[in-house]
Amino acid sequence: MTFLKHLSPFRALRDLWRFLDSRPRHELYMLVPALLLVVGVLYAFYRDSSFEREYRPNIIYVKSWPLNRSSEEIAADEKIDKVERDKRRAAFEKKQRERQEGFQKVENSLQSWGL
């Protein structure tokens, strides 16, 4: 680690000052907005990268059926489940249709702009 004894923060600052002193004044004026822009973009990425996800437990309830159920009982339960399943499917398809219509509006507006 003998190379560390040659490093000095004072010499580094003096070297930076000499470099900045040798640059034209307009370059130094443009350095400030350029640095602010870079810092702003990095800050935006930093702020956007951290978010907390909503915790949703995934609980699956299973019905316990006796082994001696008759075929009629099974068919009756399937009919009840089919009604619930159809309601869920209709709600899903409605949501999907609404989302598709929203995308279609965006597509139409982009086409009207010529994009």
Assign 14 a pLDDT band (cuts: 50, 70, 90).
very high
Rounded CA-CA distance 115/107 in Å is 9
Provide mean pLDDT across the span 87-112. 94
CA distances from 66 to 24, 42, 63, 74 (A): 89, 62, 10, 11
pLDDT at 34 over 90: yes
Task: Mean pLDDT check: name the lowest of 4-13, 29-38, 97-106.
Answer: 4-13
Residue spans per domain, the chain: 8-50, 72-115
Q: pLDDT for 1-11, tens place per residue?
A: 577 777 888 98
How does DSSP assign 22-57, residue by residue?
Answer: HS-HHHHHHHHHHHHHHHHHHHHHHHHH--PPPP--
pLDDT at 51 over 90: no
Assign 98 a pLDDT band (cuts: 50, 70, 90).
very high
State whether residue 59 is helix, strand or coil.
coil
Q: What is the pLDDT of residue 91?
A: 96
